[in-house]
Structure 1
Amino acid sequence: MSINTVTIQGGATSEVELRYLSNGTAVAQFSLAQTPRRYNKQTQQWEDGDTHYFDVTIWKHKAEAAANQITKGTQLIVTGRLEQQRWEDKQGNKRSRVQIVAEELAVLVKAQKQDGSAQAPQQGWGNSNQQQSQQQPQQGNDTWGGG
């Protein structure tokens, strides 16, 4: 048995492209950027690492929900599996790419305090069974189609 699961937190770098297959199945694609932060003990400050970019694909009703809720810049947590695609281009060169096939998406909402300043993002988990310490959406607001 092999386990192929990845969870990435980052920002959408493109608008969601929603399309439908001939059988009516929805598929959505977008790209996601993730920049790790590291604490530099010498400068005693947080610094950005190299930014990594990922192509994300999501299917069916979750694809439609993604198209309705995700825009460029939306902060997300994406959980899914890695999938490698291989093909030959028009010049005969062998090409490949690795994408994330998303199983779950969570939009991170940046709340505002009463004084107008931002506070830490709250996670809207949709259909995930997370610990009760994480904020859950209210009954009937599950746009990712769980339940």
Structure 2
Amino acid sequence: MSDTLVTLVGNVATQPEFRESVAGGMSRFRFAVTPRRWDRQKQNWADGPTSFYTVLAWRTLAANVAGSVSVGEPLVVHGRLRVHEEERDGQRRFSADVEAVAVGHDLTRGTSAFKRVARADPSLTERPKALVP
């Protein structure tokens, strides 16, 4: 397997957008990650430069993200890193997306209440079978 898996700890920068598609639901949001380090000379914590990622979630994870995540909340995101390169106005630009495998609230900065999603009974949505004589 040649996927690059990453785990990011940061804050939600934009409200998740949810869209329904033929392949299932898709949710996306921007995620801000700012490293924090102890500066020995100044004897205090210092923030590094903030990196922004677009996080994409699919199917059930997409619906759960859309219903559970808001701007400013601290999250842990685990998924596949995708780096894109494009040329615009004669300059090469890079952007990074994370195709999420798992998303959760960062419990080092608060509490959260988990609520399991009830799966629908498949028999309720099945098409009636034709009567065979």
Does structure 1 residue 108 correspond to structure 2 residue 106?
yes
The runs of at least 4 aligned residues of structure 1 exceeding 2 Å deviation read 84-89, 93-98, 120-124
1:55 aligns with 54
| CA deviation after TM superposition for structure 1 residue 16, in Å | 0.3
Which amino acid in 1 is paired with 2:54?
Answer: D
- Computed over aligned residues only, the root mean square deviation of the Cα atoms, in angstroms, reads 2.8
1:80 aligns with 79
| CA deviation after TM superposition for structure 1 residue 4, in Å | 1.0
Counterpart CA distance in 2 for 1:47 and 1:94 is: 30
Moved more, 10-19 or 100-109: 100-109
C-alpha distance 78-123 of structure 1, shift in aligned 2 (>3 A)? farther
2:11 aligns with 11
Equivalent residues of 1:36, 1:51 under 8 A apart:
yes
Equivalent residues of 1:18, 1:26 under 8 A apart:
yes
Aligned length: 118
Equivalent residues of 1:74, 1:107 under 8 A apart:
yes
Equivalent residues of 1:26, 1:61 under 8 A apart:
yes
Within 5 Å, give how 1:1-147 maps onto structure 2.
Answer: 1-21=1-21, 23=22, 25-85=24-84, 97-109=95-107, 120-121=108-109, 141-142=115-116
C-alpha distance 42-69 of structure 1, shift in aligned 2 (>3 A)? same
| CA deviation after TM superposition for structure 1 residue 97, in Å | 3.2
| CA deviation after TM superposition for structure 1 residue 63, in Å | 0.4
Equivalent residues of 2:9, 2:106 under 8 A apart:
no
C-alpha distance 39-71 of structure 1, shift in aligned 2 (>3 A)? same
Equivalent residues of 1:33, 1:52 under 8 A apart:
yes
Equivalent residues of 2:3, 2:81 under 8 A apart:
no
**1:121 match: secondary structure:** coil
TM-score (norm 2): 0.74
**2:105 match: secondary structure:** strand
Q: Which runs of 5+ in 2 are unaligned?
A: 120-133
TM-score (norm 1): 0.67
Counterpart CA distance in 2 for 1:26 and 1:51 is: 29
Identity over aligned pairs, percent: 27
Deviations 1:38-62 (A, max 9, x none): 1011111111111111110000011
